[in-house]
Amino acid sequence: MGQNAPHHKLELLPPPREKVETIEILRQTNRSTAALAELKGIAKTIPNQAMLINAIVLQEAKDSSEIENIITTQDELYKALTVKRASISAEIKEVVNYRKAIFSGFHLAKEQGFIRVNDIVSIQQELVDNTAGIRSTPGTVLKNDKTGEVVYTPPQDKAEILELLTNFINHYNRNDSELSPLINLAILHYQFESIHPFYDGNGRTGRILNILFLILNDLIDVPILYLSSYIIKNKPEYYRLLNKTNHEGEWENWIMFMLKAVENTSKHTIMKITTIKTLLDNTIIKVQKESPKIYRKELVELLFEQPYSKIDFVVSRLGVERKAASRYLKELEEIGVLESQKVGRETLYINKELIEITSVRLK
Ligand SMILES: Nc1ncnc2c1ncn2[C@@H]1O[C@H](COP(=O)(O)OP(=O)(O)OP(=O)(O)O)[C@@H](O)[C@H]1O
Ligand SMILES: [Mg+2]
């Protein structure tokens, strides 16, 4: 089928059951559900949840923005978050916004137990930092990056977009669906991207809606499973399958792609968490042994919650004087747990090993 073939009119959800519950899909759903359940269990064993969430969310903000060619480094990001500066680059700002949008979405989902169309609008607004909102002027089309050829035309009429969005959010919030939540995740992500309700930021907003959906369905307790890295790695396939579903109204390959993304990413995240936990345990032992006088569990945990630390953080966490806080950090540098770096007038103390672990990409 040629690229210019007319696409199916976007149908309301849900799709016919037989199209989204093939034997192959059901088998893969079991594998993906098991991997995700294992991740949920392992995440629970981490004593300090903030530590886990911070590191993983920042990495996700970076990866997800990278799909949109917003390239930043962990180092720049952490510095932007740790040191107040008058001006930060537009790229850093976008990634910082993405991170904020995940957290506000997470708190909203937790508080309300559901998401409204207006919440989606706020999330997108926070991401792109403008108030254009839902598309009301026609002209948005999806093009092939390389050839410039139009591959898909989303609905153009505002009333139609709103109708599709209402249907989308009703399906998103249903708790009586007979389909597995992971199959629904795949269906919903396709539908959201195909409605393409905004002028920009549809991909990133859709990826945030994915994690919130997993949380609302109790598949994970904290926002630590992200498909962005998998999507970057398999971007041509991701685009090809969205397209194929638009044009052929055929769901199986798309759903399989998303299910495999969940399985693969869950396993990768389990490895990452396990490595973080081992590093935390080893660091505790090292400080206890080599600097017994300054050892405090909260001090070590702080270095994992804030891998770029500074005196102020230690002062407020441990309730000690600046002088003592400074001495602790220097001593931790001496025994090789931290590395210091001057940024402007401030000295940051970096948990380098943790940074290395959290920035490992999917293989
Ligand atoms: N044929 C298609 N059908 C439906 N959705 C598509 C198709 N091709 C691409 N998309 C979606 O459009 C998104 C890009 O839209 P947009 O530029 O508004 O989002 P973004 O967040 O700015 O970009 P990105 O997702 O690249 O980070 C892609 O992430 C993808 O999910
Ligand atoms: Mg864009």
For the chain, what is the radius of gyration of the CA atoms? 22
User: Could you report the per-residue pLDDT of 162-194, keeping only the tens digit for each?
Assistant: 999 999 999 999 999 999 999 999 999 999 999
Q: Which atom of ligand 1 is nearest to the CA of 231?
A: 29
Task: Report the separation in Å between the CA atom of 238 and the middle of ligand 2, taken as the mean of its atom positions.
Answer: 16
Is the CB of residue 126 less than 8 Å from the CB of residue 203?
no
Q: pTM of the predicted model, to two decimals?
A: 0.95
Task: Report the separation in Å between the CA atom of 67 and the middle of ligand 1, taken as the mean of its atom positions.
Answer: 9
User: Could you report the per-residue pLDDT of 33-82, keeping only the tens digit for each?
Assistant: 999 999 999 999 998 898 889 989 999 999 999 887 888 888 999 999 99
User: Could you report the per-residue pLDDT of 78-134, keeping only the tens digit for each?
Assistant: 999 999 876 789 999 999 999 999 999 999 999 999 999 999 999 999 999 999 999
Work out whether the CA dihedral 106, 110, 113, 117 comes out positive or negative. negative
- Give the domains, in start order, of the chain with CATH numbers: 17-265 (1.10.3290.10), 273-358 (1.10.10.10)
User: Using CA positions, which residue lies closest to atom 1 of ligand 1?
Assistant: 243
Mutate to test the pocket of ligand 1, among 142, 149, 194, 254 (most ligand atoms within 8 A of CB): 142
Helix, strand, coil % over all residues of the chain, rounded to 5: 65, 5, 30
Estimate the crossing angle of helix 181-195 against helix 202-216, to 10 degrees.
Answer: 160
Task: Report the separation in Å between the CA atom of 247 and the middle of ligand 2, taken as the mean of its atom positions.
Answer: 22
Average pLDDT over residues 216-223: 97
